[in-house]
Amino acid sequence: MDNSSGVGVLDKAVLVLNALEAGPASLAQLVQATGLARPTAHRLAVALEHHRIVSRDSQGRFILGPRLAELSSAAGEDRLLAVATPVLTQLRDMTGESAQLYRRQGDERVCVAAAERTSGLRDTVPVGAALPMTAGSAAQVLLAWEEPERLHRGLRGAKFTAATLASVRRRGWAHSVGEREPGVASVSAPIRGAGGKVIAAISVSGPIERLTRTPGRLFAKPVVAAAEKITEALRRSDGGY
């Protein structure tokens, strides 16, 4: 077996996963692609399915499972946080406002990193906080570049409209005033990964008294620059996201 690690069962499991990388496969197709005996291929595929590393499609064929996407996301998030943390601090220092980094998780957006104001009233969202995808500038950014069907589904119950998201795509940033929480304004811009896909949003937020009712006029430029800096750093690291 090529690239043998000396741990036979693991090498065979990797053969199964490598075969599924090409797309869905029946048991017969797995046997043909891997060269494994039929009982061995079946036993490994079912065991991998138990751990969600392999799954089945609607036709019962084996496919790569959701656990792989979760592990990939975790690895990507570590890289994202390493790159974004110093940029968040720079953005906070430049604007004098709290800065946050959000990622989408299902119907919520989660604050995965933040840089608080060093003095005075702290307006930041705690790291780990889950906020709705239906309000706020970061939600707009995380939804604006989605596939049309997912975008329209995300607009149900939202405090912004399809026209708002069209404007976000045109400008390249979003702002909101009292949309998620009364008295709070924010500005957000997209961070992009492989293929230009939006993988996160970087934001500054604070009271309307400081950010005004047109916060984009104050902070769109530095927020967009911070997003572009992170995107470029991700592209350079390990060949991109």
Question: Checking phi first, is residue 55 left (phi over 0); if not, alpha (psi -120 to 50) or beta?
Answer: beta
Task: Indicate the domain borders of the chain.
Answer: 8-73, 79-239
* Residue 184 in this model has a pLDDT that exceeds 80: yes
- Please check whether the domain covering 8-73 is classified as CATH 1.10.10.10: yes
* Residue 132 in this model has a pLDDT that exceeds 50: yes
| pLDDT score of 125 | 81
pLDDT band at 5; cut points 50, 70, 90: confident
Is the Cβ–Cβ distance between 13 and 44 less than 8 Å?
yes
Q: Which residues contact 50 (CB under 8 A, 6 or more apart)?
A: none
* Residue 106 in this model has a pLDDT that exceeds 80: yes
* Residue 241 in this model has a pLDDT that exceeds 50: no
pLDDT band at 117; cut points 50, 70, 90: confident
Mean pLDDT, rounded, for 94-113: 92
Nearest to 195 by CA among 235, 223, 165, 222: 235
What pLDDT digit, counting tens, does each position of 140-177 carry? 999 999 999 889 999 999 999 999 999 999 999 999 99
Mean pLDDT, rounded, for 29-37: 95
Question: Which CATH homologous superfamily contains domain 79-239?
Answer: GAF domain (3.30.450.40)
Instruction: Supply the pTM of this predicted model.
Output: 0.70
Mean pLDDT, rounded, for 195-203: 93
pLDDT band at 71; cut points 50, 70, 90: confident
Q: What does the H/E/C string look like for the chain?
A: CCCCCCCHHHHHHHHHHHHHCCCCECHHHHHHHHCCCHHHHHHHHHHHHHCCCEEECCCCCEEECHHHHHHHHHHHHHHHHHHHHHHHHHHHHHHCCEEEEEEEECCEEEEEEEECCCCCCCCCCCCCCEEECCCCHHHHHHHHCCCHHHHHHHCCCCCCCHHHHHHHHHHCCEEEECCCCCCEEEEEEEEECHHHCEEEEEEEEEEHHHHCCCHHHHHHHHHHHHHHHHHHHHHHHHHCC
* Residue 240 in this model has a pLDDT that exceeds 50: no
| pLDDT score of 1 | 43
